[in-house]
Amino acid sequence: MRARDTDWDGVRLHVITGKGGTGKTTVAAALALSLAAEGRKVLLVEVEGRQGIAQIFDLPPLPYEERKIAVAPGGGDVYALAIDPEEAMLDYLEMFYGMRRAGKALTKIGIVDFATTIAPGFRDVLVTGKTSEAVRRKTKDGKRVYDAVVLDAPPTGRITRFLNVTNEVAGLARVGPIKNHADLVNGVVASPETAVHFVTLLEEMPVQETLDGLQELRTAGLPPGGIFTNMVRDTLLPTSALDAAAKNQFDPGELALGLKAAGLADGSSDAAVVAEALVKEIAEHASRTKLERRERRSLDAAGRPRYELPLLPDGVDLAGLYELAESIRTQGAA
């Protein structure tokens, strides 16, 4: 299969984070569809227990198993996995200790809750470990089971701690299976095979969280990816009109005459009312556009590849998800 020329050649684990409300789960799902196009096999992983993937693909709640959920353009397959920490604990006990049966008994008495209370980072180790295992997994003939894995990760404020598993388990064990497990995970997460992508909106708070998150990743030695600017609105007016509106230079009287001449308002009073409303809408649009231009400049200054995804007027249904996936491919992100 011929490799595509993308911005992320060689990346096998795509971690998606973003401030709440930016649509990171939607972007993760669209990216998985994009990566799976043309006959590839991609795993989409969820770790927060919200069943967001099932909702986006209009499916029943996902069990703790990898199952096919969508066909990508060109015949590729998207699989999904909703990681459950208790089941991940059983996998861990089986893998390192051969104790799956005993582990089931331990889960009945709340061993995961107990372990994560005394060592909060342990839950993150379990779910990142399951994800990195999927990245490393091979078939009997030595081929990778998945061409890529997309991880719908926790929000920006938690992402560095979530991924920095070596530090998270430092207080748990300096040697032994737990330490070895964390090192295996870190070997994937901190490698060139991983990219941590940020989802943002053209608004001040999400943009600032994105910039802060990128800096935290660099400080921790983790690999930053691209910036997906989601829900981007079209600019409806030419620059000259926006500049005039921003300077309060729109004349409602002149606009009313134009509306009346065009037959878009009945009588002078109606035209005046419509004109006043339009001037207000234009001023708000100009103000928002000015803000969005400023936030774009801030994001551009971060020096990361950036992609813009359109605001879908009818919301994100399956058709909209495929539309976003196509936009991602067109821009070279997959």
Domain ranges across the chain: 13-233+311-330, 239-288
**How many whole angstroms separate alpha carbon 199 and alpha carbon 157?**
13
Residue 155 is predicted with a pLDDT of: 96
Taking Cα atoms as reference points, which of 127, 303, 107 lies closest to residue 218?
Answer: 303
Considering only the C-alpha atoms of the chain, give the largest distance between any 2 of them, rounded to a whole number of Å.
84
pLDDT tens readout for residues 191-240 = 999 999 999 999 999 999 999 999 999 999 999 999 999 999 987 777 77
C-alpha distance from residue 62 to each of 51, 82, 100, 256, 258 (Å)? 7, 6, 22, 56, 57
Given a cut of 50, whether residue 249 has pLDDT beyond it is: yes
Query: pLDDT > 70: what percent of the chain?
Result: 84
Q: Are 37 and 212 in contact (CB under 8 A)?
A: no
Bridge partner list, 308? 229
β-bridge pairing 77-82 and 224-232:
unpaired
CB within 8 A of 43, min separation 6: which ones?
Answer: 32, 66, 78, 79, 80, 81, 134, 146, 148, 149, 150
Q: Transcribe 176-214 into DSSP letters.
A: SHHHHHHHHHHHHHTSTTEEEEEEE-SSHHHHHHHHHHH
Residue 2 is predicted with a pLDDT of: 43
Residue 287 is predicted with a pLDDT of: 81
Highest mean pLDDT among 120-129, 193-202, 313-322: 193-202
**How many whole angstroms separate alpha carbon 22 and alpha carbon 52?**
13
Cα of 170 vs its chain's centroid, Å: 28
Given a cut of 90, whether residue 85 has pLDDT beyond it is: no
- Find the DSSP H helices in the chain: 24-36, 52-56, 85-97, 100-108, 111-118, 121-136, 156-163, 165-168, 177-189, 204-220, 239-246, 252-261, 267-300, 318-330
Highest mean pLDDT among 187-191, 203-207, 279-283: 203-207
Residue 278 is predicted with a pLDDT of: 82
pLDDT tens readout for residues 38-48 = 999 999 999 98
pLDDT tens readout for residues 15-40 = 999 999 999 999 999 999 999 999 99
* Two tokens, residue 104: 């089931």
- Rounded to the nearest integer, the mean pLDDT of the chain is 85
The model carries a pTM of 0.85
Give me the half-sphere count of Cα atoms (radius 13 Å) on the Cβ side of residue 267: 3
Domain formed by 13-233+311-330, architecture: 3-Layer(aba) Sandwich (3.40)
pLDDT tens readout for residues 254-272 = 777 777 777 777 766 777 8
CB within 8 A of 202, min separation 6: which ones?
Answer: 229, 232, 291, 292, 295, 296
